Amino acid sequence: MKTYQTSRLAGQKSVLTRRTALKLAGGTFAASTLGAPALVRAQTGPIRIGHLTPMTGFLGTLGGWAVEGAQLAAKEINAAGGAAGRQIELMSEDSINPENGATKAQRMLERDGVDFLLGEISSATSLAISEVAARNEKLFVAVGPRSDVLRGERCSRYMFCTDIPNTAMVNAVGTSLKQDGMVDGKKFFTLTADYVFGHDLLAAAKSFFDANNAELIGDELIATDVTDFSPFILKVRQANPDVVCLNLAGNQVTNFVKQYAEFGLPYPMVGFNLNTADAWAAGVGNLSGTWPTVWLDSVETPESQAFVERFKAEYGKIPENHAWISYIAVQIVAKAIEETGSAATPELIDYLESGAKFDIMKARQAYFRPEDHQLIQEAYAFTVKDEGTYDDVYSMLQLDGAVPAPDAPLESIYPSVEGGACKF
């Protein structure tokens, strides 16, 4: 179809008429629907996983990490003989936005014959893909989105979430802030990403403030394409809070912290969402405060450190949290395939719901909660070291230890499933 358009624009007579183009397209479609042998082959051939993740837009800088982590996992699994004896084939594509993500998911399931879907970072796109997966009755492992609604009102029998939800991130940072006396009686000013993830995070933050006698004196919803935050920084100063708190996402965090450092306002900054890549991108001296994470390269288990080394050997750089979570997600589905001997959705769902434990390079093993399909695991808070006490951005973050504390049950930082909103 492209040939047709280009040559028309160039003002030349096209060799491809509208009619033949239509025929060609029709033929391709017929050939793909008639591709019955693919079904037979699928039982013994490679396992095809449709991997969608944003590679452009405000989350685009994170998607690259997700692809690298997932591809490394597939490579290692294949080198060790595959999952249940079958090779894993990852089809990684840019999901772009909810509309495109849903279209591509449908195409992957329908035409490319993938066995199931995996990936994503954006909560909005995940919701769109989840609907496609449910319609096609295929598994969707939502790797990176963090909105509580994906584990609540908008949960799905076909969707499993591997990253920590917003409530867990708020609790991870909140625990650390309470210890430092930065919550009780304090005035907070929040800046929130204006889409489902941000709204959800703000809701979690509000319940945390209410429960801990903190006051929310102002909140600004910020569109995801905003790159200049100076007007918002002026509003922060006008409100004169005790703490500035970020519920932003992706590039927004990097842009904000750089400009906040530029203005040099005195209010301490904390945040309920930060990816290591966004922290590194901020550069030396710009970032401060306490933040949550699902994993950091300084997690001190031998497995984590070995992963860092393998990732460095493959890509020549330290992995960030989206590389790790994507790696883990592929490992988890590979284990499920290995254990059930099948890549079929019903078997995989049964296995993942069974409470099977997974080694995810942390002190404690993880498992999916059958009630909401959330991967229950440790989270962490980290603090940015003072400027001048570290060499470069890679040694700038200080891990504060796992949350919850070793003697508390893992589920204590997650939203309760008792009377929860998730109904399959």
Between 101 and 319, whose beta carbon lies closer to other proteins? 319
Tokens representing 420? 């929860």
Identify which of 341, 348, 310 has the alpha carbon closest to the alpha carbon of residue 327.
310
φ/ψ of 121, rounded to 5, equals -125, -40
Angle at 155 between CA 360 and CA 207, to 5 degrees: 85
- Under the binding rule (CB under 8 A), the answer on residue 230 touching other proteins is yes
Among 51, 54, 59, 65, which residue interacts with other proteins (rule: CB under 8 A)? Answer: 65
Shortest distance, position 311 Cβ to other proteins, whole Å: 13
3-class DSSP assignment, residue 23: helix
Sign of CA dihedral 327, 328, 331, 333: negative
Among 31, 238, 409, 418, which residue interacts with other proteins (rule: CB under 8 A)? Answer: 238
The CA distance from 173 to 272, in Å, is 7
Shortest distance, position 276 Cβ to other proteins, whole Å: 10
Between 181 and 266, whose beta carbon lies closer to other proteins? 266
Q: Are 286 and 258 in contact (CB under 8 A)?
A: yes
Among 194, 200, 297, 372, which residue interacts with other proteins (rule: CB under 8 A)? Answer: 194
3-class DSSP assignment, residue 362: coil
Shortest distance, position 260 Cβ to other proteins, whole Å: 10
Shortest distance, position 18 Cβ to other proteins, whole Å: 20
Shortest distance, position 189 Cβ to other proteins, whole Å: 13
CA distances from 162 to 48, 287, 333 (A): 20, 27, 11
Element (H, E) at 37: helix 37-42
Q: Candidates 16-24, 59-67, 154-162, 359-367: pick the segment binding other proteins (CB under 8 A).
A: 59-67
The CA distance from 15 to 7, in Å, is 9
Residue 35 CA from chain centroid, whole number: 34
Shortest distance, position 371 Cβ to other proteins, whole Å: 35
- Under the binding rule (CB under 8 A), the answer on residue 286 touching other proteins is yes
Site for other proteins in 266-285 (CB under 8 A): 277-278, 280-285
Q: Candidates 127-135, 148-156, 228-236, 357-365: pick the segment binding other proteins (CB under 8 A).
A: 228-236
Shortest distance, position 26 Cβ to other proteins, whole Å: 29
Between 57 and 152, whose beta carbon lies closer to other proteins? 57
Shortest distance, position 424 Cβ to other proteins, whole Å: 34
Between 75 and 237, whose beta carbon lies closer to other proteins? 237
Identify which of 378, 355, 383, 349 has the alpha carbon closest to the alpha carbon of residue 367.
355
Beta bridge mates, 398: 383
Angle at 130 between CA 125 and CA 131, to 5 degrees: 105
Shortest distance, position 65 Cβ to other proteins, whole Å: 7
Between 11 and 419, whose beta carbon lies closer to other proteins? 11
Which residue type does 233 have?
I
- Under the binding rule (CB under 8 A), the answer on residue 119 touching other proteins is no
Identify which of 71, 79, 331 has the alpha carbon closest to the alpha carbon of residue 63.
71
φ/ψ of 308, rounded to 5, equals -55, -45
Q: Candidates 91-99, 202-210, 258-266, 360-368: pick the segment binding other proteins (CB under 8 A).
A: 258-266
Contacts to other proteins by CB under 8 A: 9-11, 55-57, 60-61, 64-65, 194, 220-223, 225-228, 230-232, 234-235, 237-238, 251, 254-255, 258-259, 261-265, 277-278, 280-286, 317, 387, 393
